[in-house]
């Protein structure tokens, strides 16, 4: 946990959570490795904006989506496929309890085409 709390993004955690709550869209710019992909989804989850909606995180590559899901699940102390899951082509691991989903850009596009509400 110490290692995670040392990531540069943690210095701005309060501000980022506030901006997420106060805005419909937010552009966050940070150096590579600063913790955008692994930490911001947790901030959104903890901000509890809507308990019934999922947080989708996209990645260009399938391996990255799966590896990030594994990593964030460990960080949250949750089994993969419970709070944190992934959806990539030919493979997925989610459940009705999943709130953070790592997916490829292609899979999100596909869901958007199939779901008139997205």
Stretch that binds ligand ATP, among 11-19, 32-40, 49-57, 88-96 (CB under 6 A): 32-40
Tokens of 33: 């490795």
Binding of ligand ATP by 104 (CB under 6 A): no
Which runs of consecutive H residues, i.e. helices, occur in the chain?
2-5, 13-22, 36-47, 62-75, 105-114
Least CB distance to ligand ATP at residue 12 (A):
12
Gap between the terminal Cα atoms of the chain: 35
The β-bridge partners of 55 are 100
Question: Which is closer to ligand ATP, CB of 28 or CB of 118?
Answer: 28
Tokens of 76: 């949250």
Least CB distance to ligand ATP at residue 72 (A):
8
Longest CA–CA span in the chain (Å) reads: 42
Question: Which is closer to ligand ATP, CB of 71 or CB of 110?
Answer: 71
Least CB distance to ligand ATP at residue 114 (A):
27
Q: With contact defined as beta carbons under 8 Å apart, do 20 and 44 qualify?
A: yes
Binding of ligand ATP by 34 (CB under 6 A): yes
Least CB distance to ligand ATP at residue 28 (A):
9
Binding of ligand ATP by 30 (CB under 6 A): yes
């Amino acid at each position: 946990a110490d290692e995670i709390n040392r990531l540069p993004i943690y210095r701005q955690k309060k501000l980022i959570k506030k901006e997420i709550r106060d805005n419909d869209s937010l552009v966050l710019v940070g150096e590579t490795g600063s913790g955008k992909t692994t930490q911001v989804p947790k901030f959104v989850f903890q901000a509890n904006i809507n308990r019934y909606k999922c947080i989708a995180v996209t990645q260009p590559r399938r391996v990255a989506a799966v590896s990030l899901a594994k990593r964030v699940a460990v960080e949250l102390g949750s089994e993969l496929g419970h709070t944190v899951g992934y959806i990539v082509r030919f493979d997925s691991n989610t459940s009705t309890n999943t709130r953070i989903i790592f997916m490829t850009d292609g899979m999100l596009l596909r869901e958007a085409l199939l779901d008139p509400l997205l």
